[in-house]
C-alpha cells in the first residue's frame, strides 16, 4: 500500500521493487502472493479511505505501508498524516494483519522543524504500535543522481533492486513467522 515510489512511477511496473519482491518470494519458495495497491500521488488521506476495502478484499497476512511522502511534499500538517497512518495501523491490527511501516525522509524545503517532525512520525508510530520499520525506503538511492529520475524524486529501474534490499532486510524475518 503506497504511492508512486511503490507503484513504479516512470518505469516499467515489472521493474519496480514490488514486482521484484513478488519474484523473489516465488523463487525462494514462499507461499505468498503480492498485491500492489499503490497509486501514484496517493496521500495518507487517500490511503486511509481505500484501506479498509482493500483489507476486506485481499485479506493480507502482511501489509507494507508506504505512505506519507506526498503529504510531506505538499506541506500538509504532520499531525494529519500521523492520524491517517494511525487509523490504517489500527484497522490492520483489528483484522489481525501484520503491518510493516515504511518510512520516508523529506528534502529540507519546509524547514528543519517540519522535516524533523515528519521523520519522527514514522519512528514514533513504529514504537507506539510495536511495528517493524523500514526507516527510509530510498536509503542508498535518494542522493545518487544515477539512481533517480530526471524529476529528482523517483527512483530509476536501476535503483529498484536497492529498494527491494531495503525492504527485504526488515520483511524477511517476518516471513518465517507467517510461512
Q: What is the pLDDT of residues 46-75, one digit of tens each?
A: 999 999 999 999 999 999 999 999 999 999
Considering the candidates 3, 56, 154, 176, report the single residue annotated as catalytic: 154
pLDDT digits (tens, 9 = 90+) for 116-152: 999 999 999 999 999 999 999 999 999 999 999 999 9
| Alpha helices (H) along the chain | 17-27, 44-58, 69-73, 78-94, 112-129, 160-178
Rounded to whole angstroms, how far apart are CA atoms 29 and 81?
A: 36
* Per-residue pLDDT band at 110 (split at 50, 70, 90): confident
Residue bearing cell 485479506: 59
Considering the candidates 15, 132, 151, 176, report the single residue annotated as catalytic: 151
Rounded to whole angstroms, how far apart are CA atoms 115 and 105?
A: 7
CATH placement of domain 13-178: 3.40.50.1110
pLDDT digits (tens, 9 = 90+) for 96-108: 999 999 999 998 8
Residue bearing cell 533492486: 161
Domain boundaries, the chain: 13-178
Active site residue 151: yes
> Which burial class, exposed, middle or buried, applies to 8 when counting CB atoms under 10 A from its CB (0-12, 13-18, 19+)?
buried
Considering the candidates 3, 4, 6, 71, report the single residue annotated as catalytic: 4
For residue 71, give Cα distances in angstroms to 84, 117, 127: 11, 13, 21
Would you state the pLDDT for residue 108? 87
Active site residue 132: no
Would you state the pLDDT for residue 176? 67
Backbone angles phi, psi at 166, to 5 degrees: -60, -40
C-alpha cell at 172: 524477511
Closest CA to 85 of 138, 30, 42: 42
Q: Pick the residue with more confidence: 176 or 163?
A: 163
Rounded to whole angstroms, how far apart are CA atoms 122 and 111?
A: 18
Rounded to whole angstroms, how far apart are CA atoms 108 and 128?
A: 26
pLDDT digits (tens, 9 = 90+) for 82-94: 999 999 999 999 9
Q: Report the length, in residues, of the chain.
A: 179
Q: Is the pLDDT of residue 178 over 80?
A: no
Report angle CA 151, 8, 95 to the nearest 5 degrees: 130
Specify the pTM: 0.95
Would you state the pLDDT for residue 177? 42
Active site residue 15: no
Residue 63 Cα to chain centre, angstroms: 9
Amino acid at each position: 500500500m503506497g504511492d508512486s515510489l511503490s507503484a513504479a512511477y516512470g518505469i516499467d511496473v515489472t521493474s519496480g521493487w514490488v514486482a521484484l519482491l513478488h519474484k523473489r518470494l516465488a523463487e525462494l519458495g514462499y507461499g505468498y502472493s503480492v498485491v500492489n495497491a499503490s497509486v501514484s500521488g496517493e496521500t495518507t488521506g487517500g490511503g486511509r479511505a481505500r484501506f479498509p476495502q482493500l483489507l476486506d478484499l485481499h485479506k493480507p497476512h502482511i501489509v507494507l505501508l508506504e505512505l506519507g511522502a506526498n503529504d510531506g511534499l505538499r506541506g500538509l500538517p504532520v499531525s494529519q498524516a500521523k492520524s491517517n497512518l494511525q487509523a490504517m495501523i489500527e484497522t490492520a491490527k483489528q483484522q489481525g494483519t501484520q503491518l510493516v511501516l515504511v518510512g520516508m525522509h523529506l528534502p529540507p524545503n519546509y524547514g528543519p522543524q517540519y522535516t524533523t517532525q515528519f521523520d519522527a512520525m514514522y519512528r514514533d508510530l513504529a514504537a507506539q504500535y510495536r511495528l517493524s520499520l523500514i526507516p527510509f525506503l530510498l536509503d542508498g538511492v535518494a542522493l545518487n543522481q544515477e539512481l533517480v529520475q530526471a524529476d529528482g524524486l523517483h527512483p530509476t529501474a536501476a535503483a529498484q533492486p536497492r529498494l527491494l534490499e531495503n525492504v527485504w532486510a526488515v520483511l524477511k524475518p517476518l516471513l518465517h513467522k507467517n510461512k
